[in-house]
Amino acid sequence: MEPLTQLDYKLLLAVPLIPLLGYVVNIFFGRKLPRQGDWLLTGGMFAVMCITVYMFFKFVGAGGFHESVAEGGPAYGWLYSLGHGKADGLNVVAGILYDPLGAAMLAAVGVVSFFIHLFSMGYMQGDRRYHIFFANISLFTFAMLGLVLADSILFLFIFWELMGLMSYLLIGHFSHDPDSPRITQAAAASKKAFLTTRVGDTCLLFGMAIFYWKFQTFQLSELWALSAEEVARNGGEYPAWMTVGGLFIFGGTVGKSAQFPLHIWLPDAMEGPTPVSAMIHAATMVAAGVFLLGRCFPMMSPTVLAVATTVGAFTALFAATIGCTVNDIKGVLAYSTISQLGFMVAAIGTGGLGLVAGLFHMVTHAFFKACLFLCAGSVIHACHHEQDMQKMGGLRKKLPITFAAMLICTLAIAGAPLFAGFYSKDRILQSAIQSWATGFGGASAFAVIALTLAAALTSFYMFRLIFLTFFGEPRDHHVHEHAHESPWPMTTALIALALGGVFAGKVWLRDFDLLGHHTWFTDMVSADTLYPGVQLANQLTIDAHTSHLAHSWALGISLTVAFLGFSLALWIYGLRRLDPARITARLGEVYAAVARKYYVDELVNATVVRGTSALSRGLTWIDARLVDGVVNLTGSFNRGLGFFSAGFDNRVVDGLVNWVAYTTQAFGAVARLFQTGRIQQYVSFAVAGGLLLAAGLILF
Amino acid sequence: MGVEAYVAVSAALFALGIVCIVARRNILYVLMGIEMILNAANINFVAFNRFNGDGLDGRMFAIFVIIMAAAEAAVALAIVLNVFHLFQSIKPSEVDLLRE
Amino acid sequence: MDKSARIFYGLLAVAAIASLGAGLKAAGGLGVAFAFFSVLVLGGGLVCIWERSVVRSAFSLMATFGGTAGLFVLCGADFLGMAQILIYVGGILALLLFGVMLSPPDLGERKLPRVLGGLVAVGIAIGWVALKVANTIDPTGVAWAVDPNLAQPRSHVTEIGLGFVHPEQYLIAFELAAFFLTVALVAAVYIARRRRVDLEPEGSA
């Protein structure tokens, strides 16, 4: 195991900082730069891609590694409190964690992000806020790269939140453009995305807080070690509080990775420009939830994992059914993303092999889903921003490169052998079967069934998309007339990512292993390499025989359902043997419910949205009536008090003064009686007074 | 003899003087009363001087009192004449401009 | 004389004779002399109060002043007695009579009950005070009783004269008194001067 050198460390540090710098430059000077700075940012991303890929290959070549720079290498201390030490106060150190998962993810994000920047150079031409768009996606990339490199859950959360903000800004890109026809929908969609993921973020915050409260640390490596110790101390069982904390952390995944019931934001997020969809909903943001699960796996009790499996499998099936009914080309891909994320989450939930498989699928999904979105963008661009598939058709000859890339990636997502998705999906199914076989929770049975069905549906709706868009007679001639292949930045990106869609799973040019026993990811990443030195108590040991059996079953099932899906799509949409309209009529109400996305949005609107509005109205009433009432009451009370004071002042105080004057006057009136002016009377008084005085002196 | 007799006479004359001032409705009686009072005081002084050893003080004081009485009588009569002229009356009760 | 006057003078005469007798009894010749002069003094005062006529009241004061002079002489202050007669009777009384002459006639209005009442009241009050004073004073401290070694009263003219001019005695007081007297007389003349208004015939005054 080689430690990271100083140069490596600096390179890794540069990786997130380059897009950040690009953001700052473009925000302040973007308008004044030639071509509004897109070449600058794209060039920066090219550098990032080179660095990440170089670092990746360097370490893959070294044959396994793990280095967390926080302890061994240089680290930056941050937020030292007065305690000056672990024992007292918050002691947060910002460091870099570069392990196999991080390396793979970093490279994937770097590559995908660069090609999306390249694509945007063609796609976003003529946009009013072109430079801000580039700045935003650069900052978003910064956030994702930072998240991947974070070695403490606190920093992961910080970048997580930053991504949430950037997704709001990016999805709502058109809401700042007064000329856009969909300005209100964009604003609503960005708000929905932000608020829904917020729910997940709050759960993640609770989870983090619970773990901090018990373990007094945010460092991931320490959290793993301490969790394992805690479990061991508890006799091999996960304590209840860890289940609670784990559930909260999983809540974050549910929000960010659009699992049921917080999936509602993702289809609406298609209001954003297509490169944004590619970035956010393929490679990066939605993957962050899965990445979080991967990072926090040792802290998840079997209960949490079972919940994850159930939720993921359900979501996969749920989203796949809806995807079959959607006519918007991006909408299909959105539901496809939700479904694939369900696959990943369910896989991790089954533990063991599933952990690796889910993370593997995350990496491959990044490539082919990004490519699919960009192809959709290319199609939309060619059809002059027409997104409804029912108006397309027969674009195969007009957009050859786009068609080729899309076909490759569809094969990948469907799980055709030799394509990237096959290797990862196959393993997911194998893991599910394994855990079902060894009785690791009843959720696995559900997972196997649901995932199988979902895989079938995936294949079906993706090929439906292909047939509707590229084959058949053009349904809208006006659109068809003007369709043309996209400019070189876009097609280059498509080609590059499509190649990723092929080879991201296994570079089978070197080692032609049809059944995919060895892939670069599974060789590199495993529970031991991810969490070195930590005894995991939440998975079962599988013997080789069961594993082999499960692998065979998985292989068979996945290939069968993939082919089934493809044939059905071909039958209905390709060869037109069955009329889809009649099928929908036959299904009737069921179809309507599915087409309306099972009325989840309506339910949320009725309960959450209305409830919150009612609550806020209630609180406003309280404020206006009670709070203001209290204030006004105080005012009135003071006024009343004032009256009393005034009265007191008038009657008592003034009365006192007046009484003094009156008494003086009375005395004066009496005394005046003596002043008669008659001297004889004066003499009498004087004599009388003198006699009295003498008498007084004599007597006393 | 003793000084008590003289003191008694002096006291009686003093009382008579007071009554003379107060009991008659004529300004001139006021003046006469004042003279009687002064005389009473003089008798007192001289009597005490006689019976209290060698000394000149009592008699000297009495001489000065006589001098003062003379001056006072002159001025008082001048005032009385002015009062007659102003008020056309000798009743002291009518000279009450100083009443409040 | 009317009835009340007869009663009054009768009583006064009786009181005078009685006191003369008492004086004789008490202290022999000296006592008679003292009683006689006292009667003059007090009688004059009483008559002054009693009489209706202002002139008669004024003249009765002559008796008072004369009596006082006699008492002075009895105490050995002969010069004082002479001065008393000269100044009081010859000066002050004359002045008083001039005032009487220049004043409008007054029929001597007097309210008898008031006068009597006044006499009684004042007499009682002063008598009471005097008694009290006499009783409270310690007889041993002050020589109330006649000192048997007391010198006989003798003429004191020389003493008084020397006293006036001796700088350590009463020279300054004497000079001041003389000055004061001059000022007072001048002032009196000034106050009583004739106004110009008086010289004209009085109109509707």
Cβ–Cβ of A694/C129 closer than 8 Å? Answer: yes
Of B22, B98, B100, the CB nearest to A683: B22
CB atoms near residue A692 (< 10 Å) = 11
Tokens at A510, concatenated: 């070197």
* Mean pLDDT in residue range A26-43: 81
Distance CA A176, CA A358 (A): 37
Q: Which residues of C touch B52 (CB under 8 A)?
A: 143
pLDDT band at A66 (very low <50, low <70, confident <90, very high): very low
pLDDT tier at C202, thresholds 50, 70, 90:
low
Angle, in degrees to the nearest 10, between helices A302-323 and A443-470: 30
Q: A470 and A396 in contact (C-beta within 8 Å)?
A: yes
- Chain A positions touching B30 (Cβ under 8 A) are 679-680, 683
Query: CB pairs below 8 Å between B and C: how many?
Result: 220
What are the tokens at A368? 């082919």
Cβ contact B29–C91 (<8 Å): no
State the nearest Cα–Cα gap between B44 and chain C, in angstroms.
10
In chain C, what are the domains? Answer: 1-134 (1.20.120.1200), 156-205 (no CATH)
Higher-pLDDT residue of A632 and A443 is A632
When pLDDT is cut at 50, 70 and 90, the band that residue A37 belongs to is: confident
Q: Which helix (H) or strand (E) holds C82?
A: helix C78-84
Nearest CA in chain B to C161: B60
Q: Report yes or no: C119 at the B interface, CB cutoff 8 Å.
A: yes
**What average pLDDT does chain A have?**
81
Segment B68-95, tens digit of pLDDT: 999 999 999 999 888 888 888 888 888 8
Q: How many residues belong to chain C?
A: 205
Amino acid A409 reads: C
Name the more confident of C131 and A312. Answer: A312
* CATH 2.130.10.10 is held by the domain B3-92: no
Mutate to test the interface with C, among A680, A685, A691 (most CBs of C within 10 A): A691
Q: What is the pLDDT of residues A381-402, one digit of tens each?
A: 888 777 777 777 777 777 888 8
CB A683 within 8 A of CB B18: yes
Which residues from chain C sit within 8 angstroms of residue B67, using beta carbons? 87, 177, 180-181
DSSP state of C152: P
Binary contact (C122, A687; C-beta < 8 A): yes
Model ipTM over 0.95: no
Q: Do A698 and C132 touch (CB under 8 A)?
A: yes
Which residues of A lie closer than 8 Å to B, measured between beta carbons?
672, 675-680, 683-684, 687
Q: Which residue has the higher pLDDT, A163 or A67?
A: A163
Of B25, B56, B73, the CB nearest to C163: B56
> Which of A17-21, A386-390, B16-20, C61-65 is the least confident region?
A386-390
Q: Check whether A687 has a pLDDT greater than 50.
A: yes
pLDDT higher than threshold 50 for residue A68: no
Q: Which residue has the higher pLDDT, A247 or A447?
A: A247
- Put simply, whether C132 touches B (Cβ < 8 Å) is no
The answer, yes or no, to whether residue C133 has pLDDT greater than 90, is no
Lowest mean pLDDT among A369-378, A459-468, A510-519, A674-683: A510-519
The partner residue sitting opposite B9, judged by closest CB among C38, C65, C114, is: C38
Give C67 or A427, the one with higher predicted confidence: C67
Determine the distance in angstroms separating the CA of B99 from the nearest CA of chain C, rounded to an integer.
23
In this prediction, residue A71 has a pLDDT band, given cuts at 50, 70 and 90, of: very low
- CA-wise closest residue to A439 among A306, A607, A611: A306
A3: pLDDT strictly greater than 70: no
The pLDDT tens digits for B34-62 are 999 999 999 999 998 888 767 788 889 99
Cis peptide before A34 (omega within 30 of 0): no
According to the model, what pLDDT value does residue A537 have?
A: 66
C137 touches chain A (CB under 8 A): no
Write the CA distances from A597 to A253, A269, A282, A615, integer angstroms: 21, 15, 21, 27
Q: DSSP per residue over A118-157, as a string?
A: HHHHHHTTT-TTHHHHHHHHHHHHHHHHHHHHB-BHHHHH
| pLDDT grade for A213, boundaries at 50, 70 and 90 | confident
Query: Rounded distance, CA A160 to CA A156, Å?
Result: 6
What average pLDDT does the segment A38-55 reach?
87
Mind telling me how many Å the CA of B94 is from chain C's nearest CA? 15
Residue C165 has pLDDT above 60, yes or no: yes
Distance CA A507, CA A512 (A): 8
Distance from CA of C188 to the nearest CA of B (A): 4
- From the CA of C53, how many Å to the nearest CA of chain A? 19
What is the arithmetic mean of pLDDT over C60-73?
Answer: 94
So what's the pLDDT on residue A82?
A: 35
Whether residue B77 lies within 8 A of chain C, CB to CB, comes out as: yes
pLDDT at residue number A447: 84
pLDDT at A560: 87
Given this model, what pLDDT does residue A677 score? 81
User: What is residue A514's predicted lDDT score, i.e. its pLDDT?
Assistant: 60
Residues of B in contact with A672 (CB under 8 A): 100
The maximal CA–CA distance of chain B, rounded, in angstroms, is: 52
Q: Is the pLDDT of residue A531 over 90?
A: no
The residue among A685, A698, A699 with the most chain C CBs within 10 A of its CB, best to mutate, is A698
- Quote the pLDDT of residue A517: 63
Round to whole Å and give the CA distance between A22 and C161: 133
Chain B neighbors (3+ CB pairs < 8 Å)? A, C
Amino acid at A8: D
How many beta-carbon pairs below 8 A join chains A and C?
Answer: 10
pLDDT-derived band at C198, boundaries 50, 70, 90? low
Degrees to nearest 5, angle at CA C197 with C194 and C199: 65
Of C122, C125, C136, the CB nearest to A698: C136
Tell me what the mean pLDDT of segment C1-17 comes to: 85
Domain ranges of chain B: 3-92
Is residue A1 pLDDT above 60, yes or no? no
Quick check: A142 pLDDT over 90? Answer: yes
pLDDT score at A84: 40
Residues with Cβ within 8 Å of A583's Cβ and at least 6 positions away in sequence, in order, are: A572
- Tell me which chain C residue has its CA closest to the CA of residue A693: C129
Contacts of B75 in chain C (CB under 8 A): 184, 187-188, 191
Pick from A53-62, A220-229, A304-313, A519-528 the range whose average pLDDT is largest: A304-313
Q: Report d(CA A498, CA A520) in Å as an integer.
A: 19
> In the predicted model, is pLDDT for residue A511 greater than 70?
no
Tens digit of pLDDT for each residue in A342-365? 999 998 888 777 888 888 889 889
Q: Is C133 on the interface with A (CB under 8 A)?
A: yes
- Residue A30 pLDDT level (bands cut at 50, 70, 90): confident
Task: List the beta bridge partners of residue A328.
Answer: A388
Asked if pLDDT for residue A670 goes beyond 60, the answer is: yes
From chain A, the residues in CB contact with B21 under 8 A are: 680, 683
Contact assessment for residue A35 and residue A66, using Cβ atoms and an 8 Å cutoff? no
pLDDT value for A65: 44
pLDDT band at C96 (very low <50, low <70, confident <90, very high): very high
pLDDT-based confidence at residue A562 (cuts at 50, 70, 90): confident
pLDDT band at residue A233 under the 50/70/90 scheme: confident
CA angle centred on A286, ends A211 and A126, rounded to 5°: 140
Residue A389: the pLDDT is 73
Cβ neighbors of A611 (< 8 A, separation 6 or more) are none
Which residues share a beta bridge with A219? A152
Asked if pLDDT for residue A412 goes beyond 60, the answer is yes
pLDDT number for residue C65: 96
DSSP sequence for B28-81: HHHHHHHHHHHHHHHHHHHHHHHHS-S-SHHHHHHHHHHHHHHHHHHHHHHHHH
pLDDT at A74 over 60: no
Distances (CA, A) of A622 to A315, A400, A617, A626, A628: 40, 64, 9, 5, 8
Which two structure tokens, joined as six digits, stand for A99?
A: 């392990």
What b/e readout covers A40-79, taking b as 16+ CB neighbours within 10 angstroms? bbbebbbbbbebbbebbeebbeeeebbbbbbeebebeeee
**Which residues lie below 8 Å from residue A145, measured CB to CB, with a gap of 6+?**
A15, A16, A19, A48, A106, A109, A110
Of B22, B30, B99, the CB nearest to A676: B99
Distance from CA of C125 to the nearest CA of A (A): 7
> pLDDT over 70 for what percent of chain A?
86
CB A530 within 8 A of CB A100: yes
Q: Which percentage of chain A shows pLDDT scores above 90? A: 12
Measured between beta carbons, which residues in chain C are less than 8 angstroms from residue B63?
A: 80, 83, 160
Please list every residue in chain C whose beta carbon sits closer than 8 Å to the beta carbon of residue B43: 41, 68, 71-72
Task: Tell me which DSSP letter residue A219 carries.
Answer: B
At B3, list the tokens: 């000084």
